[in-house]
């Protein structure tokens, strides 16, 4: 059977495909764990490792905190952007892994005078996936905003007049440039964190701690 229950002998790690999966592999290797299946070529959502006691769940990035919070995974890796939106309830966050680093920023159409709009107290329409972070940011600046929740392709919103601005994660800035958008304000730096289910930390400490230590050592090296 290919289902899994997080019993006492098994450790379940939740990861998302792409950058976080790729950047977590060397950390797992440092803990002596090799993932023996490739999520890009396999359609499997539960991957085996060389350690029969460790398996990896492939979930959407925004779902990682939920799997760990409810104990369906013992630990996981998620971006600070995702964790802030989730709220971090039921999660222990012991380590900043310094992977998938980027920043959360405000961007607008190249022709839009953001500074003046803010100074004049204009009410801004802001499209974003990160509504909690955006709400907090603009509230702290005293800027009135109407938030428009989107699930992807935020860059499109100002181009078609859906919003005046977006709040999104930016890495190289290439996506913004390609869509004639300009980054006008950095809200915060983002990196991915290891999150651990609070009950698992107590009940499976013996199994988890050496892995957490290896992650800590490997992530502070670079």
Question: Shortest approach of ligand AMP to residue 178 CB, angstroms?
Answer: 8
Q: How many CB atoms lie within 10 A of CB 10?
A: 15
Nearest to ligand AMP of 171, 180 (CB atom): 171
**Contacts to ligand AMP from residues 87-146, by CB under 6 A:** 100, 102
Site string for ligand AMP, 18-37 (x = CB under 6 A): -x------------------
Q: Find the binder of ligand AMP among 143, 173, 198, 203 (CB under 6 A).
A: 173
* CA dist 172 → 102, 103, 169, 176, 178 (Å): 8, 10, 10, 9, 11
The Cα angle at residue 181 between residues 177 and 187, in degrees rounded to 5: 105
Under the binding rule (CB under 6 A), the answer on residue 151 touching ligand AMP is no
Under the binding rule (CB under 6 A), the answer on residue 180 touching ligand AMP is no
Q: Which of 32, 73, 68 is nearest to 55 (CA)?
A: 73
Nearest to ligand AMP of 37, 189 (CB atom): 189
Residue 113 tokens read as: 């005078």
Residue 65 tokens read as: 């905190």
Q: Find the binder of ligand AMP among 79, 126, 195, 204 (CB under 6 A).
A: 79
Residue 204's contacts (CB-CB under 8 Å, 6 or more residues apart) are 8, 11, 74
Nearest to ligand AMP of 79, 208 (CB atom): 79
Q: Which residues bind ligand AMP (CB under 6 A)?
A: 19, 79, 100, 102, 168-175
């Amino acid at each position: 059977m290919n289902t899994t229950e997080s019993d006492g002998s098994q450790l379940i790690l939740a990861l998302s495909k792409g950058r976080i999966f790729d950047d977590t592999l060397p950390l797992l290797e440092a803990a002596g764990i090799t993932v023996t299946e490739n999520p890009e070529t396999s359609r499997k959502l539960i991957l085996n490792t060389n350690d029969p006691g460790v398996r990896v769940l492939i979930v959407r990035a925004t779902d990682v905190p939920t799997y760990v919070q409810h104990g369906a995974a013992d630990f996981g890796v998620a971006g600070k952007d995702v964790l802030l939106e989730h709220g971090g309830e039921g999660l222990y966050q012991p380590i900043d892994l310094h992977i998938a680093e980027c920043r959360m920023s405000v961007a607008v159409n190249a022709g839009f005078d953001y500074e003046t709009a803010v100074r004049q107290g204009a009410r801004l329409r802001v499209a974003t996936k990160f509504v909690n972070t955006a709400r907090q940011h603009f509230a702290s600046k005293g800027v009135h905003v109407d938030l428009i929740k989107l699930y992807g392709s935020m860059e499109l919103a100002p181009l078609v007049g859906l919003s005046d601005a977006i709040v999104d994660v930016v890495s190289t800035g290439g996506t913004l440039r390609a869509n004639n958008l300009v980054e006008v304000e950095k809200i915060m730096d983002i990196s991915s964190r290891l999150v651990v289910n609070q009950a698992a930390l107590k009940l499976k400490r013996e199994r988890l701690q050496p892995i957490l230590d290896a992650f800590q050592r490997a992530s502070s090296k670079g």
